[in-house]
Homo-oligomer: A and B are copies of this chain.
Amino acid sequence: MKLAVIEGDGIGREVIPAAVEVLGAFGLELEKVPLELGYARWERTGTAMSEEDLDTIKSCDAVLFGAVTTVPDPSYKSVLLTIRKELDLYANVRPVKPLPGVTGVTGRNDFDFIIVRENTEGLYSGIEEIGPDLSWTKRVVTRKGSKRIAEYACQLAKKRSDKLTIVHKSNVLKSDKLFLDVCRQTADAYGVEYNDMLVDSMAYSLMMHPEKYDVVVTTNLFGDILSDMCAALVGSLGLVPSANIGKKYAFFEPVHGSAPDIAGKGVSNPLAAILCVKMLLEWMEKPESRLIDDAIADALKKKVITPDLGGKASTSEVGCAVAKYI
């Protein structure tokens, strides 16, 4: 098993070393392949990621990724989006689950759901035209793309409480009818109970009744918006991990970005990155993954927490504490 380790930019360079320390504590046979890419490298060399880098990544089985800064500059191609595409990582999986003793903006902790975001099409099609007076982007929904994400979500639902919520906007986007129909058919085929929600109503409902949901499947940008929003339920963007899964590869990335405002101070919260390690171990089907929950609970109880959670610990102190427990 080979794991590419990409710290990227900003706080990626702080949280990934902490996560790597935690991973090390499991003593697995695992070759780590460090790669330096991202915006900082683009600024320095004009290339954020070379063909060679991509080949190296493809020679690995999985990727642990920090964050890269993205910019509107049309000449800068997002590393993250390129990797998602090249590795055909079609499922972006984002668990939304409270950590013990940490409350989010609503003060409640009776929820535990997973957002499964289609990760290859929708508004991320890249089919666009820029003009001085008119610009457009094509939002693409395909049967194939909808089917495989629906299947992923249904398989996940089968392992959980067998409940699926399909999120769309087919009252306005007639193209979303295809997504909705395929998800419904797939859920029927899997025998998974389902309902569907319009994305605007869902944004409201997730805030009002997060306990209602189990597996939520949606298109690319809706998943992007809803999952960031749901980080507020958990308490901080620094607490939510994500997995980008394909048929062959898997890629693990905290939902927070490179956070240039706090980068370099060593105070960024590594828990999302550490939870990415948990998702990696789950993907590797290692039951030890559960230890991470216990270790995090222990660190939280002992108040070894970063300033965003009201603590005084540094990024590496949190990493150490979790690794030590394991």
A101 at the interface (CB under 8 A from B): no
CB distance B228 to A201 under 8 Å? yes
CB distance B135 to A177 under 8 Å? yes
CB distance B224 to A173 under 8 Å? no
With known contacts A170-B72, A237-B204, A175–B143 Cβ distance under 8 A: no
Which one of A52-60, A122-130, A275-283 is at the B interface?
A: A122-130
Count residues of A near B (Cβ-Cβ below 8 Å): 60
Residues of chain B with a CB closer than 8 A to A225's CB? 199-200, 203, 222, 225
Please provide the 4 A-B residue pairs with the shortest distance between their CB atoms, ordered closest to farther. A207-B232, A135-B175, A203-B229, A200-B228
Of B106, B178, B204, B228, the contact of A135 (CB 8 Å cutoff):
B178
With known contacts A177-B130, A225-B200, A138–B138 Cβ distance under 8 A: yes
CA distance A300 to B237 in the complex (A): 36
CA distance A200 to B207 in the complex (A): 15
Nearest CB of chain B from residue A92's CB, rounded to whole Å: 12
CA distance A130 to B81 in the complex (A): 26
Residues from 111 to 136 in A contacting B, C-beta threshold 8 Å? 123-125, 128-136
Residues of chain B with a CB closer than 8 A to A228's CB? 200-201, 203-204
Nearest CB of chain B from residue A73's CB, rounded to whole Å: 9
Residues from 182 to 211 in A contacting B, C-beta threshold 8 Å? 199-201, 203-204, 207-208
A310 at the interface (CB under 8 A from B): no
A13 at the interface (CB under 8 A from B): no
Give 22 A-B contacts (CB < 8 Å), ordered by A residue: A71-B171, A72-B171, A72-B174, A78-B172, A81-B172, A107-B107, A133-B143, A134-B142, A135-B140, A137-B139, A137-B173, A137-B174, A137-B176, A138-B138, A138-B139, A200-B224, A201-B257, A203-B225, A203-B226, A203-B228, A207-B233, A222-B225
Hey, which bits of chain A sit against chain B, CB under 8 A?
Answer: 70-72, 74, 78, 81, 105-107, 123-125, 128-144, 169-178, 180, 199-201, 203-204, 207-208, 221-222, 224-229, 231-233, 237, 257
Nearest CB of chain B from residue A202's CB, rounded to whole Å: 8
Residues of chain B with a CB closer than 8 A to A200's CB? 224-225, 227-229
Q: What is the oligomeric copy number?
A: 2
- Kindly name the residue among A125, A129, A174 whose own CB sees the greatest number of chain B CB atoms within 10 A: A174
CA distance A92 to B200 in the complex (A): 15
Residues of chain B with a CB closer than 8 A to A78's CB? 171-172
CA distance A130 to B124 in the complex (A): 18
Nearest CB of chain B from residue A318's CB, rounded to whole Å: 21
CB distance B70 to A171 under 8 Å? yes
CA distance A140 to B140 in the complex (A): 14
With known contacts A204-B229, A207-B105, A229-B207, A180–B139 Cβ distance under 8 A: no
What residue in chain B is nearest A81 (Cβ atoms)?
Answer: B172
